[in-house]
Amino acid sequence: EVQVVESGGGLVPSGGSLRLSCATSGSTFGAYGMGWFRQAPERPREGVAAITTNGTTYYTDSVKGRFTISRDYAKDTVYLQMDNLKSEDTALYFCALDWNFRRTVASTTARMYEDWGQGTQVTVSS
């Protein structure tokens, strides 16, 4: 059984930075793509960023130029570096696995993903 655990959330002032981590265990790390999603109160879940097994990345428009997704194969971990944070980035952030290891175009289409973590809260104060 795959374990997915997010960490790194917290309270940060507007303009600040955070780095989220998503650690996985129980399977071969390079066998799946990874995605980051977020959900704010009373809003639908939103795809934020994704990375495929070959390193292709995707970002939703609102975070382009501010967020960076990366993966460390030695640590079985995917990161989301978030810079220049804004109040509208406040949400519970989740990561999940895309088991289609042949996928070459990254996407945050939610139906592609399984094995979701419990999330880590990011709060940006204005």
98-121 pLDDT, tens per residue?
998 889 999 999 999 999 999 999
The string of DSSP letters for 72-106 reads: ETTTTEEEEEE-S--GGG-EEEEEEEE--TT--S-
- Interval 5-34 mean pLDDT: 91
Max CA separation in the chain (angstroms): 41
- What tens digit of pLDDT does each residue of 53-92 get? 999 999 999 999 999 999 998 888 999 999 999 999 999 9
Predicted confidence band of residue 5 (pLDDT cuts 50, 70, 90): very high
Order of strands, sheet of 46-51, starting from the edge strand that comes earlier in the sequence: 10-13, 120-125, 91-98, 33-39, 46-51, 57-59
Q: Is 17 helix (H, G, I), strand (E, B) or coil?
A: coil
- Rounded CA separation 49/67 (Å): 8
Closest to 20 (Cα-Cα) out of 1, 34, 41? 34
Other Cβ atoms within 10 Å of 52 Cβ, number? 22
Residues 71, 31: contact at Cβ < 8 Å? no
- Rounded CA separation 31/119 (Å): 22
